[in-house]
Structure 1
Amino acid sequence: MADAPSAALPPRVLDEAAEWLMRLHDSAATDADRRACERWRQSHPDHARAWARAELLMNKLGGLPSALAMPSLARSSRHGGRRAAIGRLAALLAAVPAGWLGWRFAGERGWTAEHRTATGERRELQLADGSRLTLDTASAVDVRFDAAQRLLVLHAGAILVATAPDTAAAHRPFRVQAGGGTLEALGTRFSVRREEEGATAVAVFEGAVRVTPERGASRVLPAGQQTRFGADGIEAFAPADESRVAWTRGMLLADAMRLADFAAELSRYRPGALRCEAAVAGLRISGAFPLDDTDRVLRMLVSTYPVDALTRLRGYWVTLVARNISAQG
């Protein structure tokens, strides 16, 4: 059994782990570097523990801080700056156990890190293995990398994942746990979204994803397809639409979308309440709308379609109504 994560590590080992972390996140890193790091990691239990801390720190910070990464780009000419950066990174690694109990108390388990976005916020992370993770608005995900697997646990919202080859010598599958099942990436780029009714939607844009419900047979979802699944099974496959991830570019794309559905989607990016009256719920909306300015989107709707946006509580409560209806807020 592995030692407790809070156990102390020799300063020399922390320095070596910091050196490897910076080397592998240098743009000049090679496969030979990665194999050498793996040999170092396996050569002593302390090395394995130090590297686990390094992965935890990377996942917690969402990547190597640029202030630490920059000195690694010019090893020979800025040796002093590089050594100082390694020292700062080693100090961070030494401090990881101090925050460990607090992270666990917050609901995390194992070697994990939690990332959240607020309403209207999007965030892109580079994980310890080089994979890219983009969080949509109001999303929460745990990153749990260990010796057996690379696991994301999606608690809320949506993510876009672009997997990278694993840096470990022994293959570790890349999985996403969401709702009532697990997804396993087969070299891929895909999106996952937790939906309000309990289902999980997944769309594959490159590669393939194996979908495994908690109670039911697994199926492989190929590129260009999407589906929804729950604990008891998987729905029929349908063509995937890149507009599902237009949010990564700060856009909401609508193609003859019902106004009720449009309002529900826009409300995910807007604090407060956005409602649509039944009289206009079926109105079809098309266009590209900027998610970073939802007030502008409402103005675009009012100027283009026969609707009004009635506001209350200084814009916190908005109701879309037919234009011939008037009300006081």
Structure 2
Amino acid sequence: MPADPAAADPPLPAAVLEQAAEWLLRLHDDDSTNTRDACAQWCAEHPDHARAWQRAQRLQALVAQVPSGWALPVLGRSRSGAGSRRAAIKRIGLWLTLVPAGWAGWQLAMPVAPGQRERTAVGQRRLRILPDGSTVHLDTDTRLQVQFDPLQRQLQLVRGQILVETAPDPQSPARPFQVLTAHGQIRALGTRFNVRLDDQRTHLSLYAGSLEIHAGTSDAWRLHAGEQAWFDAAGAHAVDALDDSASAWVEGMLVADARPLAEVVAALARHRRGVLRCDPQVALLPVSGAFPLDDSERSLALLEATYPVRVQRSPGGWWVLVAAR
């Protein structure tokens, strides 16, 4: 049996990965003997430093395999100011967490071509790099259309859920960055935000920057960092304080704080094949906790052990009902 890459290369602290990212940028700007010697000294200070630098070199080699237009957003922004440099370090640090799986891990973060359709299967999540250096996480069972041209940067969410972190546009003047759904148009103004689509509404969670929303015939309105909202095609909307756990799906977790059981079950159902439903008798039961999305059987066992419910399964396990105990 082949070795598990994750076991062979265990996780590294985020701070160490960001330090490796900083050295990668330093050497990109100044590949002198003094800089290389200083980097070697840092690598020798701790085994984690050496492992992090191996990942950075692997990333650098992988970037060299793609056209320079794609590589530029990864390593080419280091001279544009302290704020942009810090953002670049954080972004590279994120990519370094993907490198341990080698080439397969890089495929999870390969650039997206303009006009490309992206989709994930049930139970699958994916990270993509957009043509301007922005990143987009796709949740399970998600469909996304990417349209970048000289006048616009546009994503059309057809199904599912995405988490977007925008990057400064390398073109001048900067093109607007927009996300379209069946219910309206979202314009990102330097942001990190989550968009979830259901049949009746679009749901937004905003972690940084601001969003401008156009829906129906109502006037445009704005969402600010620390807020979440929903809107529909008629222009109706409601704004509330941000639930920080809304993006936990990126890490493979569902975090609930007194959330109705029906909503928890529906979220788990999106990540598994077959039918998973909640009995209306217990639909409003408040549930709190953290549940792994990639192991819904374990999550169901946690619900059954913690709350007055029982999990009923049909022969073969295709049909599952969470009912009152």
- Structure 1 length normalisation: TM-score? 0.66
Instruction: Verify: 1:312 aligned to 2:314, yes or no.
Output: yes
SS in 2 for 1:265: helix
State how far apart, in whole Å, the 1-side matches of 2:108 and 2:170 are: 17
Q: Matches of 1:287 and 1:169 in 2, distance apart?
A: 46
Give the CA deviation at 1:33: 9.7
Q: 2: distance between equivalents of 1:163 and 1:319?
A: 40
1:127-186 CA distance string (max 9 Å, x none): 111001001111000000001010000000010000000111221010000112100000
The answer for the alignment partner of 1:128 in structure 2 is: 131
The 1:32/1:224 distance shift into structure 2, 3 A limit, reads: closer
Cα 1:276/1:309, change in 2 over 3 Å: same
Aligned to 2:258: 256
* Aligned match of 1:183: 186
Equivalent residue number for residue 154 of structure 1: 157
Distance between the aligned counterparts of 2:77 and 2:300, measured in 1? Answer: 50
1:137 aligns with 2:137: no
2:228 is aligned to 226
Instruction: Give the aligned residue type for 2:159.
Output: A
Q: Rg bigger for which structure?
A: 1
* Structure 1 position 322 matched with structure 2 position 299: no
The number of residue pairs the alignment matches comes to 235
Q: Equivalent residue of 1:266, what SS?
A: helix
Instruction: Decide whether the 8 Å contact of 1:184 with 1:210 is kept in 2.
Output: yes
Return the offset for 1:291.
0.5
Distance change >3 Å, CA 155–CA 32, structure 1 → 2: same
Q: Which of the residues 192, 196, 205 maps onto 1:193? A: 196
Contact 1:118 1:139 in 2 (8 A): yes
Partner of 1:105: none
How far the C-alpha of 1:282 sits from its partner, in A, is 2.4
User: Are 1:119 and 2:155 matched, yes or no?
Assistant: no
Structure 2: distance between partners of 1:19 and 1:302: 49
- Aligned-pair CA distance for 1:26: 5.6
Quote the residue 2:269 is aligned against. 267
2:278 equivalent among 276, 279, 295: 276
Secondary structure of the structure 2 residue equivalent to 1:120: coil
- Relative contact order, CA 8 A, sep 6+: which one is greater? 1
Q: Separation in 2 of the partners of 1:320 and 1:297? A: 12
CA distance 1:30–1:278, shift in 2 (3 Å):
closer
Equivalences for 1:1-329 in 2 at 5 Å? Answer: 21-22=67-68, 25=71, 29-31=75-77, 64=110, 111-196=114-199, 198-323=200-325
How many angstroms apart in 2 are the aligned matches of 1:170 and 1:114? 26
Measured in 1, the distance between the counterparts of 2:119 and 2:166 equals 20
Q: Which digits, 9 at most, give the CA deviation of each residue in 1:286-312, with x for residues without a partner?
A: 100111100111111111112111101
Cα separation, 1, equivalents of 2:254 and 2:319: 21
* C-alpha distance 168-32 of structure 1, shift in aligned 2 (>3 A): farther
With over 3 angstroms needed to count, the CA separation of the structure-2 counterparts of 1:111 and 1:290, relative to structure 1, is closer
Question: Residues 33, 278 of structure 1: CA spacing in aligned structure 2 closer, same or farther, 3 A cutoff?
Answer: closer
Deviation at 1:262, TM superposition (A): 1.4
Q: SS in structure 2 opposite 1:187?
A: strand
Given that residues 74 and 133 in structure 2 are in contact (C-alpha distance below 8 angstroms), is that contact kept between their aligned partners in structure 1?
Answer: no
Where do 5+ consecutive residues of structure 2 fail to align? 1-63, 81-106
Cα distance between partner residues in 2 of 1:264 and 1:321: 14
User: Distance in 2 between the 1:241 and 1:184 partners?
Assistant: 21
Q: CA deviation at 1:234?
A: 3.8
Matches of 1:142 and 1:162 in 2, distance apart? 16
4+ residue segments displaced more than 3 Å? 18-21, 26-34, 61-65
For residues 144 and 289 of structure 2, the distance between their equivalents in structure 1, rounded to whole angstroms, comes to: 30
SS in 1 for 2:238: coil
In the alignment, structure 1 segments of 5+ residues that lack a partner are 1-17, 35-60, 66-109, 324-329
Give, as a single letter, the amino acid of the residue that structure 2 aligns with 1:306: P
TM-score normalized by the length of structure 2: 0.67
Provide the alpha-carbon RMSD of the alignment.
2.5
